[in-house]
Amino acid sequence: MAPMEAQVLIRVVPSYARGLPISPPPPRFELSAKPLFRSSPLRSTASRPAAASTEKPRASAIMEASGFDSEGREFKNAEEMWGEEIGKEGDVHKRKEWYRQGVGYWEGVEATADGVLGGYAHVNDADIKGSEAFLKMLLAERFPDGGRGRSLVALDCGSGIGRVTKNLLIRFFTEVDLLEPVSHFLEAARESLVPESGLAIENKTTNFFCVPLQEFTPDVGRYDVIWIQWCIGHLADDDFVSFFMRAKAGLKPGGLFVLKENIARSGFVLDKEDRSITRSNTYFKELFHRCGLHIFKSKDQRGLPEELFAVKMYALTPDAPKRVHNTRAKAQPNRPGIIK
Ligand code: SAH
């Protein structure tokens, strides 16, 4: 991989920006503010924080929204893009190639915070602070005493070098498992998380799974929280859905998924270099619906540099939200009394 400086230079003026007209019509996809588009899991575009969408996704909403790739090409809809990227159902070779290139990209990245954050290691503090506040709120709402005195288990998906585990999860969970398909990242995580003797009391990291999400099935009922940050964009829609369907069984009763991800302003943005897509809030909601997942809470991450994608945290549960019954209305039906 090219040195970081060279990447910055390349990315400030992406090749596809050069041919754009200077005067209107303005590009729908503003390309100038993309210093680290390709290597960052924060993959920047000019996406301002996505306006919180309150609309219920229609079944085919995602199939209707257009999107772009990192070379400026527009796709009519996600179906067209997926057709080209992973082919029709049954095209095993194309799909394998998509995943091979995704992991291949990360295999060329150094095992440091700057590496996994695409040169944006300095966003680590804001990211962890935002995640911590969200996690604390979830634990307080889901567990008596905020989970204290309980043995809580988490899974860190697409963990990279274990940044999220080390800075956050390990402080709130009794055990943390890590899943990461790139072996030199997982090795770096193990080195920084497991004390030399491997026996120290501090050792809370239990399993290190070197597999990609699309091939992983967790043990039934093991996890209180399955944390998925900056990696779900590598999964095609159908693998996204089947991963969550399998992973639901890995949650304890009352357990949650936390998905923290970049959000496109609309439709999707395909990164041709690392083979990942950034989905819009509406796109995500449609996929959650297909997974049979409900949004328990969601929050926008604040304090990240302007030029980056908006980032959102979703807490997802397989449990349907409780309906609020209007008991008074039932108790006092508006019926005329019987006159005897
Ligand atoms: N979540 C970590 C790392 C983000 S970098 C953090 O926030 O620090 C993106 C990570 O996704 C990389 O570690 C990369 O190897 C991983 N990844 C790529 N393809 C994946 C896949 N198919 N399944 C799971 N993880 C994947």
Separation between Cα atoms, residue 189 and residue 271, nearest integer Å: 26
pLDDT one digit per residue (tens) for the chain, 340 residues:
333 323 222 232 222 222 222 233 333 343 333 333 344 556 554 444 444 444 454 556 566 799 999 999 999 999 999 999 999 877 899 999 999 999 999 999 999 999 999 999 999 999 999 999 999 999 999 887 777 778 999 999 999 999 999 999 999 999 999 999 999 999 999 999 987 665 544 568 789 999 999 999 999 999 999 999 999 999 999 999 999 999 999 999 999 999 999 999 999 999 999 999 999 999 999 999 999 999 999 999 999 999 999 999 999 999 988 877 665 545 455 555 555 5
To test ligand 1's pocket by mutation, which of 99, 109, 116 has the most ligand atoms within 8 angstroms of CB?
116
User: Which DSSP string corresponds to 83-136?
Assistant: HHHT-STT-HHHHHHHHHHHHHHHHTS-SSHHHHTTT-GGGHHHHHHHHHHHHH
DSSP code, position 165: I
117 half-sphere exposure, CB direction, 13 A CA radius:
19
Query: Coil, helix or strand for 218?
Result: coil
Order of strands across the sheet that contains 276-279: 74-75, 67-69, 268-271, 276-279
Query: Coil, helix or strand for 278?
Result: strand
Query: Coil, helix or strand for 207?
Result: strand
Quickly list H helices, 278-326. Answer: 281-291
Angle at 294 between CA 317 and CA 103, to 5 degrees: 70
Decide whether any atom of ligand 1 lies within 6 Å of the 86 Cβ: no
Decide whether any atom of ligand 1 lies within 6 Å of the 230 Cβ: yes
Query: Coil, helix or strand for 18?
Result: helix
pTM: 0.82
Cα 98–chain centre separation: 18
Decide whether any atom of ligand 1 lies within 6 Å of the 224 Cβ: no
pLDDT at position 60, please?
Answer: 60
pLDDT at position 25, please?
Answer: 33
Which residue(s) pair with 271 in the sheet? 276
pLDDT at position 201, please?
Answer: 44
Cα(228) to centroid(ligand 1), Å: 9
26 half-sphere exposure, CB direction, 13 A CA radius:
6
**Cβ proximity of 204 and 174 under 8 Å:** yes
Beta strands 175-179; 153-157: pairing state: parallel
List CB contacts of 130: < 8 A, sequence separation 6 or more. Answer: 299, 301, 302, 303, 313
For ligand 1, atom 16, the nearest C-alpha belongs to: 158
Decide whether any atom of ligand 1 lies within 6 Å of the 106 Cβ: yes
**In which residue are the tokens 């910055």 written?**
8
Separation between Cα atoms, residue 16 and residue 237, nearest integer Å: 26
Decide whether any atom of ligand 1 lies within 6 Å of the 231 Cβ: yes
| Burial per residue of 252-274, b for 16 or more beta-carbon CB atoms within 10 angstroms, e otherwise | eeebbbbbbbbbbbbbbbbbeeb
Q: Which helix (H) or strand (E) holds 241?
A: helix 237-248
Cα(230) to centroid(ligand 1), Å: 6
